[in-house]
Amino acid sequence: MANVTADLAAEGFAATPRPHVRPARPRAGRGWTRAAAAISMLALLPVVALLWQALAGSSGLWPHLRAHVLPQALHDTAILLVGVGVLVTAIGTSAAWLVTAYDFPGRRVFSWALLLPLAMPSYIIAYAYLDLLHPIGSLQTGLRGVLGYDSPRDFRLPDIRSMAGCILLLSLVLYPYVYIPVRALFLSQAANLIDASRTLGTSRAAVFRRVALPLARPAIAVGASLALMEALNDVGAAEFLGVRTLTVSIYSTWVTRSDLAGAAQIALAMLVMVLALILAERWARRNVRYAGSAMRSIPLGPRRLTGLAGWTALGLVALPVALGFAAPAGYLVHAALSRLGAGPDLGALWRAGASTVALAAAATAATVGLGLVVAAAARLRPGRGAETALRLSTIGYAMPGTVVALGLLMPVAAFDGLFDRGIASLTGTRPGMILLGSGAALVLAYVVRFLSISAGTIEAGFTRLPRSYDGAARSLGRSPTGLMGQIHLPLLRAPLVAGALLVFVDCVKELPATLMLRPLGVETLATQLYAEASRGTYENGALAALAILAVGLLPAILLARTGER
């Protein structure tokens, strides 16, 4: 090396002095880690408060719940989860294979149209079908007229208010959670795996069973677990359809019986079930490893289906879209138009819409900001502390909205009480319930519930930024905060916008936490729809349902565009 340097000097090449690299300061980025740890503690607050509240209940409360409340709630919840799990797996996996492995009329359209039921909240599809399939509704009345029957006593369709109806309707709106990851995995599988199987004389149906399906097991497990958590979070559809799940039991125990300790103990039982779902998902993906070659994988070429086979495939993928989106959306449009002709109370709808936007916007800003801090801490100061804070901050998404709301109620009410008494002792005036009365408690519940979405989206954006950017900026003297503000934030614009969109839409659609923590006299679109459905005046809630559906279409469109790219 010395000889090479001497030769270069002899040829007239001067050695360029190496730039001075400032050594990393031990304390650089420590503030981000501390902030992330504080945010993760905020996410854990509902769990700690639930444990405290449950232990504060009377000694004879738990035996009463175990004997009279939990058996029915656990039974209905278990049947619901098993049924939804089987249906969403079957619908999502088969639809993903059809649009990936075969080419048939309308395949390009339905490859993204299969995402549309994702925009339909579960309580809205239940609300729509309850009126659409009412025994004296237009559909069954017309059907009886065609068949020659005069009365519902002579002929009526099976009642949608049942466990089977609840399983079917929830599955129709939750199967996209399985369809999205499974289709992505099918698209990424190398075609040579399929071709190797075909050269051995295996039919495409057998390839699906013996090759594609086993490889898709991790994606199926992840998608099904997300769908089951959403089913566990549901309160509107289950209550409308007469299914007494754990979520419905929590809400009724607290609101109807004013039994906070009993609701907390039921919520802890639900947390155990959530933990079981997470462990089951991990178990389903145990010991799964993939070996890929250095060669670029060739995407699977779809096989052309013609004639009856092509139209059958089209019918199979069109059915869940028609039942899960087109039929209820068409009903909502028709009901909204008829309600407009009858002169609806647009003032109440406007106030509910304004409250919805205000609460969702405030929660979105807070959630994205806190998610950025948590994800940035793991990037700026990588280590066990920041990584643990990032993982703990996502725990809220695994908890149903009723559990989050119930867990936050006690600490928020305690703070409001202390603040009220403190101000009264100083000024002689009582400000009342500041957090609960202003909607801040509901915004906090939204933040805890959906922090996982913003943190996960921003973390994924960070993985696309080379670490060399950080090293170059630090060598020029940039602090971690300067690096974040001048380098990372401009490059993270797309993940930030996507995360904000997803959080905003989820806040608009969230029903359980909104029902339990909204200020007195404040209605959102979701709670207004719930109230109308509870009273049986379905047509009065059509406009609110249609507004929620329109907002819910935004992430479906975003996912469709992403899939096309």
Mean pLDDT score across all residues of the chain: 79
Tell me, what's the pLDDT at 288?
Answer: 56
Mean pLDDT of 45-69: 72
Tell me, what's the pLDDT at 322?
Answer: 94
DSSP structural state of residue 399: S
Identify the weakest region by mean pLDDT among 185-199, 390-404, 501-515, 534-548. 185-199
List for the chain the helix, strand, coil content (%; round to 5): 75, 0, 25
Alpha carbons within 13 A on the beta-carbon side of 435: 19
- The beta strand positions in 433-513, using DSSP E, are none
Most confident of the following: 121-130, 392-401, 484-493: 121-130
- Residue 174 clears pLDDT 90, i.e. is over it: yes
Give dist(CA 338, CA 330) in Å, integer.
Answer: 12
Give dist(CA 69, CA 64) in Å, integer.
Answer: 7
Tokens 């270069």 label which residue? 8
Mean pLDDT of 134-154: 78
Question: What is the percent of the chain with per-residue pLDDT over 70, rounded to a whole number?
Answer: 83
CB atoms under 10 Å from CB of 122, counted, come to: 26
Mean pLDDT of 337-341: 73
- Residue 95 clears pLDDT 50, i.e. is over it: yes
Cα dihedral 171→175→177→181 (10° resolution): 150
- Residue 15 clears pLDDT 70, i.e. is over it: no
- Residue 222 clears pLDDT 50, i.e. is over it: yes
- Residue 16 clears pLDDT 50, i.e. is over it: no
Give me the residues paired with residue 103 across strands.
Answer: 304
pLDDT-based confidence at residue 168 (cuts at 50, 70, 90):
very high
Tell me, what's the pLDDT at 199?
Answer: 63
DSSP structural state of residue 522: -
Identify the weakest region by mean pLDDT among 7-11, 32-36, 379-383. 7-11
Tell me, what's the pLDDT at 184?
Answer: 80
Mean pLDDT of 259-264: 74
- Residue 211 clears pLDDT 60, i.e. is over it: yes
Mean pLDDT of 216-241: 84
Tell me, what's the pLDDT at 293?
Answer: 45
Give dist(CA 454, CA 374) in Å, integer.
Answer: 10
Give dist(CA 261, CA 76) in Å, integer.
Answer: 22
Selected residue with higher pLDDT from 3 and 305: 305
Tell me, what's the pLDDT at 292?
Answer: 47
Tell me, what's the pLDDT at 565?
Answer: 52
Q: Please enumerate in sequence order all residues whose Cβ is within 8 A of that of 123, keeping only pairs 6 or more positions apart, or say none.
A: 234, 235, 236, 237, 240, 511, 526, 529, 530, 533
Identify the weakest region by mean pLDDT among 159-168, 234-243, 275-284, 447-456. 275-284
> What is the model's pTM?
0.79
Where exactly does CATH 1.10.3720.10 map onto the chain?
Answer: 62-118+175-286+305-318, 353-401+440-565
Selected residue with higher pLDDT from 512 and 264: 512
Mean pLDDT of 324-352: 80
Q: How far is CA 146 from CA 140, 141, 149, 158, in A?
A: 10, 9, 8, 18
544: phi > 0 → left, psi -120 to 50 → alpha, else beta; which?
A: alpha
Per-residue b or e along 137-157, where b marks 16 or more CB atoms closer than 10 Å to that residue's CB: eeebeeebeeeeeeeeeeebe
Question: Quick one: CA dihedral 182, 185, 191, 192, positive or negative?
Answer: negative
CB atoms under 10 Å from CB of 1, counted, come to: 5
Selected residue with higher pLDDT from 61 and 347: 347
Identify the weakest region by mean pLDDT among 168-182, 334-348, 452-466, 489-503. 334-348
Residue 223 in contact with residue 179, Cβ under 8 Å? yes
Q: Which CATH number fits domain 62-118+175-286+305-318: 3.40.50.1820, 3.40.630.20, 1.25.40.20, 1.10.3720.10?
A: 1.10.3720.10
Counted residue by residue, the chain has a size of 565
Identify the weakest region by mean pLDDT among 157-166, 338-347, 548-557. 338-347
Identify the weakest region by mean pLDDT among 26-30, 95-99, 204-208, 461-465. 26-30
pLDDT-based confidence at residue 370 (cuts at 50, 70, 90):
very high
- What DSSP letter does each residue of 241-255 carry, written as one string? TT---HHHHHHHHHH
- Residue 9 clears pLDDT 50, i.e. is over it: no
| Topology given in CATH for the domain delimited by 353-401+440-565 | MetI-like fold (1.10.3720)
- Residue 38 clears pLDDT 80, i.e. is over it: yes
Give me the residues paired with residue 102 across strands.
Answer: 303
Q: Which tens digits make up the pLDDT trace of 410-439?
A: 888 888 888 888 888 888 787 778 888 888
